[in-house]
Amino acid sequence: MQDTKSQYSGECGGHALPVSAASLQWRNFLAISGLVILLQACYSPERDLIQDPRNTPLIHILTSDFRPASGGVNVRWEYLGIAPLHRVVLLRRNDGLIFDSIGVMTDGMALGDSRLIDSFIDPSPASGELIEYSVIARTDQGSSSGRAVQVQIPGARLVRLRRNPFQGRIQIDWESVGAGLTGFEVVRRTPSGSRSLLLAAPSVDTYLDLDIEGNTPYEYEIRTTVSAGATLTSASQSTEVYSLARTEPVSLGRVGLATGSSVSSITLYALVPRTFGIDLSSYRYFFGSSFDGSQTVGAIREETNALEASDVDVATLQIAGPTVFRPATVGNCIYLAGTNASGDQVTIRAFSLPNLTAKWKGPLDWPLSDGAVVSAVQAGDGNLYVSGGGSLRVYTPQNAELVRYGLSFSDPTNLAGDASALWAVLGGEGRVVRSDISAGLGQTINWEEVTFPISLVPTCLTLNRFSQIFVLDATAQCVHAFDIELSHLLSWTLPEDDYHQGGLSLDGGPGNLIHVFSSKGNVYTYLP
């Protein structure tokens, strides 16, 4: 019998259908033919990229070249796709963070039915920067973006601005890259206009701007000239010194300020006379950051203490807080000095910090005549200086009288002092005198006239830890800053207000803030 199993195929064994060799060959032929047809249908010579432009539009940058003669960058791009192109957006960034749009194109040169080519000139790339460019294509199918490319721009790159408010200067630093650079120009812009500060050789990379004012924004840029003739401009940077950081309405009328103590969180004390007493408020100034990263100044009024003052003429009171020139200790005092209710006697009150506990009251033997003015300050030597009625008395930190002097000039309207000198503003005479106290106090005190290098009418003054003297000119509504040698560092104009009964005070915190208070009870805080 003939074996027929070889004529059958399948898992069903003897139950499978018979298949001939010719049928198998025909089936294989059809499979291979179908695969070839499919491959031919999918192949296109334009589909040699990973992303298929016939299904998904593709855009990319072909070339990007810096042009020395013009100082611009030529960016050439290519679009592949059958979807209609609505527009191409050119992007640029030089900070490594965010792309900015610098141009929009709505057409290009067609090369076939699915290819467009065009170029764009970036006329003003920032000098010295490694700039990235990219492109985005907008079609009916959405957006398609190309890979970013980098172009090195020659010239000077502005690296940093180093502000020094305590010496009244701003240092501009830059670095350069590339060949054919012939010189640099430092340009400064303010709200009132622009100004060229320096023309420098290619070997120079820094400049000190000494001609600055407080509370004025300065924007700097570096311009580079190249041998090909173009002028390139760097990205700009801005800064300012003694900027107005905060305005605090403390009172509706006269106010007095005093430096706080680092023993507590209080950085400033505000004395506000009331009809039947005194309010002494404690403020804490602190630093924060805004959304753009710039520094901000905040303030919190921690508490207000109502002090009894039935036997005091509150309109004459001056406040003398702890000095910033000595380490703060528990037991530091804040002093209130003025005249009694009848105006014929000097009265001084001491309150211990930080709880403002009444500690001392005196003296009992300091008579005054009509028109006398009382002033007080805690100086850097740790002593309390009080003037009035043609005399000056000095008290130790233990509130004991140390020495008393007669004065040969009118009563000072303001006293200030560090560890080296005691300063007195003679408001009625429009002048300032000072005495050297660095070697201690003797039986006599010698005064010298202070001559400022600019014209001003002094209302009051104060000093900071960096040997700066700040003078308030209420008539001109201006603050002037000088170094210890009386060289003028800078000035700034105050907001429109009345400052004739105002003054200056340092903040007791670490930020070296300067507070200016007006006759109307407004406190203007300046950040160095």
The answer to whether the beta carbons of residues 486 and 501 sit under 8 Å apart is no
Decide if domain 243-527 falls under CATH 2.120.10.30: yes
Tell me the per-residue pLDDT of 344-387, one tens digit each, with 9 for 90 and over.
Answer: 999 999 998 888 888 999 998 999 998 899 999 999 999 999 99
Helix/strand/coil (H/E/C) assignment for every residue in 454-480: CCCCCCEEEECCCCCEEEEECCCCEEE
pLDDT score for 263:
67
pLDDT score for 340:
93
When comparing pLDDT for 465 and 265, which is higher?
465
Mean pLDDT of 222-230: 92
pLDDT score for 42:
47
Mean pLDDT of 75-89: 90
What are residue 181's DSSP bridge partners? Answer: 226
Residues 6 or more apart whose CB falls under 8 angstroms from that of 25 comprise none
Lowest mean pLDDT among 193-202, 217-226, 256-265, 276-285: 256-265
Mean pLDDT of 282-291: 88
Banded model confidence at residue 105, pLDDT cuts 50, 70, 90: confident
The answer to whether the beta carbons of residues 59 and 135 sit under 8 Å apart is yes
User: How many other β-carbons are positioned within 10 Å of the β-carbon of residue 422?
Assistant: 26
Write the DSSP string, 389-437.
TTEEEEE-TTS-EEEEEE-SSPPPSEEEE-SSEEEEEETTTTEEEEEE-
Above 60 in pLDDT, residue 265?
A: yes
Banded model confidence at residue 47, pLDDT cuts 50, 70, 90: very low
Above 70 in pLDDT, residue 501?
A: yes
Q: 243-527: same fold as 155-239?
A: no
Lowest mean pLDDT among 34-43, 66-75, 264-273, 347-356: 34-43
The single-letter DSSP state of residue 210 is -
> N- to C-terminal Cα distance for the chain?
115
Above 80 in pLDDT, residue 65?
A: yes
Decide if domain 58-152 falls under CATH 2.60.40.10: yes
Above 70 in pLDDT, residue 80?
A: yes
CA distance 525 to 515: 5
CA angle, residues 274, 280, 286, in degrees to nearest 5: 135
> Could you give the 3-state DSSP secondary structure of residue 52?
coil
When comparing pLDDT for 481 and 83, which is higher?
481
User: How many other β-carbons are positioned within 10 Å of the β-carbon of residue 97?
Assistant: 6
The single-letter DSSP state of residue 25 is H
CA angle, residues 408, 418, 511, in degrees to nearest 5: 140
Q: Is the dihedral of CA 272, 273, 274, 278 positive or negative?
A: positive
| Mean pLDDT, the chain, whole residue set | 88
The answer to whether the beta carbons of residues 90 and 105 sit under 8 Å apart is yes
CA distance 437 to 137: 76
Which residue from 261, 264, 270 is spatially nearest to 515, judged by alpha carbons?
270
Residue-range domain boundaries for the chain: 58-152, 155-239, 243-527
Mean pLDDT of 300-329: 87
**On the CB side of 208, how many CA atoms lie within 13 Å of its CA?**
6
Identify the residue whose tokens are 């000190």. Answer: 208
The answer to whether the beta carbons of residues 378 and 387 sit under 8 Å apart is no
Residue 59 burial by Cβ neighbours in a 10 Å radius (0-12, 13-18, 19+)? buried
Tell me the per-residue pLDDT of 461-473, one tens digit each, with 9 for 90 and over.
Answer: 999 999 899 999 9
CA distance 320 to 315: 15
| CATH of region 155-239, choose from 2.60.40.10, 3.40.50.880, 3.40.50.150, 3.40.1280.10 | 2.60.40.10
Question: pTM of the full predicted structure?
Answer: 0.82
What is the number of residues in the chain?
528
Q: Is the dihedral of CA 245, 251, 257, 261 positive or negative?
A: negative
Above 50 in pLDDT, residue 341?
A: yes
